[in-house]
């Protein structure tokens, strides 16, 4: 299927690894011109080294408003106003029982996972509206609708991302800017690698056993009984960025092998 986005200017955050990098790869394969952004210039350059197509990298910390401003200026200078935004930057944040997590734990998680989406969307949506065409995909999580008690700041931040997605879709859909979310579960990226390494250490097992026990005990509804691959999420994100998704707005696409219990 031709996604119809050849030459479109795209901005992908959280792009030096995992779902962001895989999404950049999909968009490049479709002929989009892609700005990849993440925290560290060196890691970004290493990640982008293997990519084909027209792309550039710009390091920025999305929790710093001035950095976001500079990122958008440099992105515009590279390929013009972003017409596509895929916002993947995120952190697991501090985990533990609710009564042990202080304000900083909440603030840090919400700042990266929710506020950075607010900042970046605010910076790109004006030009998309003027052009009458835009695609925004925010990466949420299964946790946004199905909270796990040991990571409530993360879950609440992702519920916020889903609410933001729906609200933005209503505000800007009439202008031709379509806003959707992708909600993955347990994908093989540095984020879950770190979780599984910690679990393996706690239990005195290897990482494969940690993954298996996590699936059995914590994610029993994941019917495929494996971690997802970043490209399996990226394929859905790329579709939502496309001309083919021209009547899709305000949706959350689950890419979770069944982890969320409801239909």
**Phi, psi (degrees; rounded to nearest 5) at 262:** -85, 165
- Give phi and psi for 57, each to the nearest 5: -120, 145
Q: Which is nearer to ligand NAD, 131 or 221 (CB)?
A: 221
Asked if residue 139 binds ligand NAD (CB under 6 A), the reply is yes
Active site residues: 154
Nearer to ligand NAD, 174 or 190 (CB): 190
Residue 123 near ligand NAD by CB under 6 A? no
Beta-bridge partner residues of 57 = 36
Q: Does 260 bind ligand NAD (CB under 6 A)?
A: no
- Rounded alpha-carbon distances, angstroms, from residue 130 to 126, 127, 135, 173, 212: 6, 5, 13, 13, 49
Determine, following the binding rule CB under 6 A, whether residue 190 of this chain makes contact with ligand NAD.
yes
Q: What token pair was written down for 40?
A: 């560290």
Confirm or reject binding of residue 145 to ligand NAD (CB under 6 A): no
Least CB distance from residue 139 to ligand NAD, whole Å? 4
Residue 17 engages ligand NAD in binding (rule: CB under 6 A) = yes
Residue 221 binding ligand NAD, by CB under 6 A: no
Closest listed residue to residue 137, CA positions, set 53, 249, 232, 243: 249
Which 89-108 residues touch ligand NAD, going by CB under 6 A? 89-91
Provide the terminal-to-terminal Cα distance of the chain, rounded to the nearest Å.
27
Q: Figure out which of the listed residues 3, 9, 12, 19 binds ligand NAD, where binding follows CB under 6 A.
A: 19
Return the residues of window 63-82 that contact ligand NAD according to CB under 6 A: 63
Work out the number of other CB atoms within 10 angstroms of the CB of residue 104: 9
Rounded distance between C-alpha atoms, residue 65 and residue 245, angstroms:
31
Q: Which is nearer to ligand NAD, 11 or 139 (CB)?
A: 139
Residues 199, 157 contacting (CB under 8 angstroms): no
Binding site for ligand NAD (CB under 6 A): 14, 16-20, 38-39, 61-63, 88-91, 112, 139, 141, 184-187, 189-192
């Amino acid at each position: 299927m031709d996604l119809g986005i050849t030459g479109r200017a795209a901005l992908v955050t959280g792009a030096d690894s995992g779902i962001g990098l895989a999404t950049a790869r999909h968009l490049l394969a479709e002929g989009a011109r892609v700005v990849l952004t993440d925290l560290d210039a060196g890691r970004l350059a290493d990640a982008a080294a293997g990519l084909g197509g027209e792309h550039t990298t710009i390091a920025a910390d999305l929790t710093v408003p001035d950095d976001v401003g500079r990122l958008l200026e440099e992105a515009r200078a590279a390929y013009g106003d972003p017409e596509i935004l895929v916002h993947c930057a995120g952190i697991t944040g501090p985990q533990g029982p609710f009564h042990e997590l202080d304000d900083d734990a909440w603030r840090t998680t919400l700042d990266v996972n929710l506020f950075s989406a607010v900042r970046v969307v605010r910076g790109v949506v004006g030009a998309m509206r003027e052009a009458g065409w835009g695609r925004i995909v925010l990466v949420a999580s299964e946790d946004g609708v199905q909270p796990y008690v040991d990571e409530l700041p993360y879950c609440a931040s992702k519920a916020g991302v889903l609410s933001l997605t729906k609200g933005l879709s209503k505000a800007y859909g009439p202008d031709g800017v379509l806003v959707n979310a992708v909600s993955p579960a347990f994908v093989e990226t540095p984020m879950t690698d770190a979780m599984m390494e910690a679990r393996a250490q706690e239990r005195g097992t290897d990482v494969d056993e940690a993954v298996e026990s996590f699936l059995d005990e914590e994610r029993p509804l994941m019917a495929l009984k494996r971690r997802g691959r970043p490209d399996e999420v990226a394929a859905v994100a790329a579709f939502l960025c496309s001309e083919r998704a021209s009547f899709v707005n305000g949706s959350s696409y689950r890419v979770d092998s069944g982890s969320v219990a409801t239909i």
